Amino acid sequence: MSSEHEPPVPAFARTFGLRIALWYATLFVSGAIAIVLVTYYLTAASLAQRDRQIINGKLGDYAAAYVRGGVRVLAATVRAEQQVAPERLFVRVVDRGVEAVVLSNPDGWDPSKLETVSATLDDGTLVQVGKSTEARDDLLARFRATLGMVTLVIVAVALTGGWLATRSALFPIRRLTLAVRRIIRTGRTDARVPLDGTGDAIDELTTLFNAMLDKIEGLVTAMRGALDNVSHDLRTPLTRLRGAAEMALASPPKGDSVQQAEHYRDVLADCVEESDRVLVMLNTLMDISEAESGTMQLRREAVPLAEIVARAIDLYRDVADAKGVTLSSSTPAGVVVTADRTRLEQVAANLIDNAVKYTPSGGRVDVDVLQDADAAVMRVGDTGPGIPADELPLIFDRLFRGDTSRTERGLGLGLSLVKAVVEAHGGTVEVSSELGRGSVFTVSLPLG
Ligand code: ADP
């Protein structure tokens, strides 16, 4: 079990962080080592070059002294020089390959660490000057030791620095990972990852992640709400259905067998009616879901809007007449859309149904078809009660029914279906309404 406060570092961050740290350290250390090596070799080469210059200079001087006065003058020169110069050189003269005279050979010199240069004079005499490399070697050895220490420090700094840098770079990712993990574990979508406000890439990712959570939360809430509404709305017809059947079973009807059969027939008819209500509701809900998710099968064809409106008006002509509502239309031919004819008829029928239903006797319902710049428009206007401003944003929601509309028949699904189907066709539906004066629903569809 891991505690909430000290959560384990996720494996990916461990290996990822380690990899970055190692990369960083390797680059840093190899760069540093390259610089150290170059410095060392340049120093060593320049020291060697300086020694050779000294030896060559002396060799020239001594050869000149020998030419001037033979071994005697050369010996005097060497002695005189070595009294003032702190650095003692090895000097030897070999006379035509037979007699060797060593003029200077300081004590305690290791002959293996002697760097010599010789010059052969015209008479065949060899003058040789040497210099010990001991001091130089000693200096370089100490330089090497120092460089070794410096390199060790660099490696240590690189490793610690790399570790610290990747740790701090990975910290926001770790926080994000932990937040995601917490959300998955608790199933709570209201948790959010805190921003550190630097505005960097990680901050942007966090913002996007939080926005995604907002969206998911919104969808889940909407789905829960819809499910609650559906359950609630299904309960009423189902309870009524059950009540009717139960009543019929509990109290056997009086009268003769014909009367009894009549009674049972009535109860069964009620039951069928209630089941139809449930079925219509479920079918409509499924249609809306399909249209919204884009899985609704649309048999698209070129359809003149005038035909659609004419058929829907035919359906409601009698209802409107009976209610005393004038139903009229202005539908020029030639406004054609590419759409599913049946679905579009459903849209027109639902809008006209609402308009006739909510408009009181003596009112009017006008259906117009017209062509906008690049859209086919169908407008259903009525002189009904209008829709209160606070209800306007809700009327397209599933199962929403206006406060004053509850006395009318309806499921609160008509406008949801209209919107879903119109949007599945790439169109839009808008409403404008004025209380006490009426409402206008405008459907715009892309021209076919
Ligand atoms: P319902 O089955 O209640 O008619 P709808 O989804 O078709 O469901 O409409 C949702 C709500 O919008 C209605 O309950 C009503 O309050 C309001 N509404 C829709 N059309 C009109 C209209 N033409 N005039 C006034 N109110 C309307």
Residue 405 near ligand 1, beta carbon < 6 Å: yes
Provide the residue type at 279 as one letter: L
Residue 363 near ligand 1, beta carbon < 6 Å: no
Whose tokens are 């397209």? That residue is: 396
Could you tell me the distance, in angstroms and rounded to a whole number, from the CA of residue 317 to the centre of ligand 1?
19
Here the tokens at position 112 are: 């293996």
Q: Which residues contact 150 (CB under 8 A, 6 or more apart)?
A: 36
Q: What is the model's pLDDT at position 3?
A: 42
Cα(215)–Cα(222) distance, rounded to whole angstroms?
Answer: 10
Residue 417 near ligand 1, beta carbon < 6 Å: no
Here the tokens at position 184 are: 């998955």
Residue 415 near ligand 1, beta carbon < 6 Å: yes
Nearest CA to ligand 1 atom 19: 354
Residue 444 near ligand 1, beta carbon < 6 Å: no
Q: What is the model's pLDDT at position 119?
A: 85
Fold observed for domain 300-446: Heat Shock Protein 90 (3.30.565)
Here the tokens at position 211 are: 């926005």
Domain 201-293, classified CATH 1.10.287.130, yes or no: yes
Beta bridge partners of 370: 377
Q: What is the model's pLDDT at position 4?
A: 44
Q: What is the model's pLDDT at position 341?
A: 97
Q: What is the model's pLDDT at position 217?
A: 86
Nearest CA to ligand 1 atom 14: 401
Residue 277 near ligand 1, beta carbon < 6 Å: no
Q: How far is CA 25 from CA 22, 39, 47, 149, in A?
A: 5, 21, 33, 17
Residue 388 near ligand 1, beta carbon < 6 Å: no
Q: What is the model's pLDDT at position 108?
A: 65
Atom number of ligand 1 nearest to Cα 404: 16
Could you tell me the distance, in angstroms and rounded to a whole number, from the CA of residue 308 to the centre of ligand 1?
21
Could you tell me the distance, in angstroms and rounded to a whole number, from the CA of residue 263 to the centre of ligand 1?
36
Residue 412 near ligand 1, beta carbon < 6 Å: yes
Cα(419)–Cα(442) distance, rounded to whole angstroms?
Answer: 11
Task: Write out the chain's pLDDT in tens, 448 residues.
Answer: 344 454 555 565 567 777 777 888 888 889 989 999 999 999 999 999 999 999 999 888 888 888 888 888 888 888 888 777 767 788 888 877 666 777 777 666 677 788 888 888 887 888 888 888 888 899 999 999 999 999 899 889 888 888 888 888 788 788 878 877 887 888 777 878 778 777 778 788 888 988 988 888 888 887 888 788 788 888 888 999 999 899 888 887 778 888 888 889 999 999 999 899 899 999 999 999 899 888 899 999 999 999 999 999 999 999 999 999 999 999 999 999 999 999 999 999 999 999 999 999 999 999 999 998 889 999 999 999 999 999 999 999 988 899 888 888 888 999 999 999 999 999 999 999 999 999 999 999 998 7
CB 174 within 8 A of CB 41: no
Residue 90 near ligand 1, beta carbon < 6 Å: no
Here the tokens at position 85 are: 């110069």
Around Cβ 231, how many Cβ atoms within 10 Å? 9
Residue 354 near ligand 1, beta carbon < 6 Å: yes
Residue 166 near ligand 1, beta carbon < 6 Å: no
Task: Identify the DSSP state of 87.
Answer: S
Q: 398: closest CA among 235, 274, 276, 228? A: 228
Residue 10 near ligand 1, beta carbon < 6 Å: no
pTM for this entry: 0.59
Atom number of ligand 1 nearest to Cα 385: 25
Could you tell me the distance, in angstroms and rounded to a whole number, from the CA of residue 353 to the centre of ligand 1?
9
Nearest CA to ligand 1 atom 7: 414
Residue 411 near ligand 1, beta carbon < 6 Å: yes
Cα(34)–Cα(62) distance, rounded to whole angstroms?
Answer: 42
Could you tell me the distance, in angstroms and rounded to a whole number, from the CA of residue 349 to the centre of ligand 1?
13
